[in-house]
């Protein structure tokens, strides 16, 4: 019988630091859920808007705990697909749920790329139905793909820099928002969108997806 090739994952020690790992996680979390979906969530949940974030955080905490416990005995770059294989073996459910995760990531990345193109064109007062929107989106995906092909040192360096920029931007917007709040006139007599169970669940699902 012909010997099968060794497919055991090889890892270089200290190729990813703790700060780099935290930066990668932060970069993933501060994404579409904050930059592109906040207004949509507010429209769907009404006054329950903050609770949608809290409910999503509670659900994600169970997933995070599971990943931590699974990554200790099974350290692998295979991620969720590998965990599903360990749980269900080489079975149809493992393949099916792995594909669902793959398609959800494709949808999320496509959404982020198109949002990037749309937001960028607003700086130049170009209509968001322009062909430049998908062109910029595809360019962003290609740039991210090339970065992911590089070494861990470069990836964590870029992720750390972008993480600080994102956090700094959010803090800056928060400070400016508080400072300008007293000078902004808001009509509180207007009826806001009503909260509903389906809207709350949908908003929570949007945060979980992105």
Q: Decide if pLDDT at 189 tops 70.
A: no
> Model's pTM, two decimal places?
0.65
Q: Decide if pLDDT at 31 tops 90.
A: no
Q: Decide if pLDDT at 15 tops 80.
A: no
Q: What is the mean pLDDT of residues 84-112?
A: 86
Mean pLDDT check: name the lowest of 31-35, 48-52, 95-99, 189-193.
Answer: 189-193
Q: Decide if pLDDT at 5 tops 60.
A: no
Q: Decide if pLDDT at 139 tops 50.
A: yes
Q: Decide if pLDDT at 194 tops 70.
A: no
Q: Which of 3-12, 69-78, 89-98, 189-198 has the highest mean pLDDT?
A: 89-98
Q: Decide if pLDDT at 130 tops 90.
A: no
Structure tokens at 158: 């870029």
pLDDT at 142: 92
pLDDT at 1: 45
Which residue from 82, 80, 83, 84 is spatially nearest to 92, judged by alpha carbons? 84
pLDDT one-digit tens code per residue, 49-94: 888 889 988 998 988 888 888 888 887 766 788 888 888 888 998 8
Does residue 142 or residue 16 have the better pLDDT? 142
């Amino acid at each position: 019988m012909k010997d099968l090739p060794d497919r055991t994952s090889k890892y270089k020690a200290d190729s990813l630091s703790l700060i780099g790992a935290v930066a990668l996680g932060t970069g993933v979390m501060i994404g579409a859920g904050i930059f592109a979906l906040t207004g949509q969530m507010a429209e769907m949940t009404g006054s329950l808007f903050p609770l949608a974030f809290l409910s999503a955080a509670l659900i994600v905490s169970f997933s995070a705990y599971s990943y931590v416990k699974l990554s200790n005995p099974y350290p692998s770059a295979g991620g969720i697909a590998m965990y599903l294989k360990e749980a269900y073996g080489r079975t149809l459910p493992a393949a099916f749920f792995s594909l669902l995760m793959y398609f959800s990531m494709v949808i999320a990345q496509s959404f982020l790329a198109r949002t990037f193109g749309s937001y960028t064109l607003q700086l130049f007062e170009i209509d968001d139905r322009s062909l430049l929107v998908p062109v910029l989106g595809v360019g962003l995906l290609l740039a991210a793909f090339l970065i992911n092909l590089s070494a861990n040192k470069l990836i964590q360096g870029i992720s750390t820099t972008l993480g600080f920029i994102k956090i700094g931007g959010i803090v800056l917007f928060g400070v400016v928002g508080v400072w300008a709040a007293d000078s902004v006139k808001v009509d509180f007599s207007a009826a806001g969108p009503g909260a509903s169970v389906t809207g709350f669940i949908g908003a929570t699902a949007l945060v979980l997806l992105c």
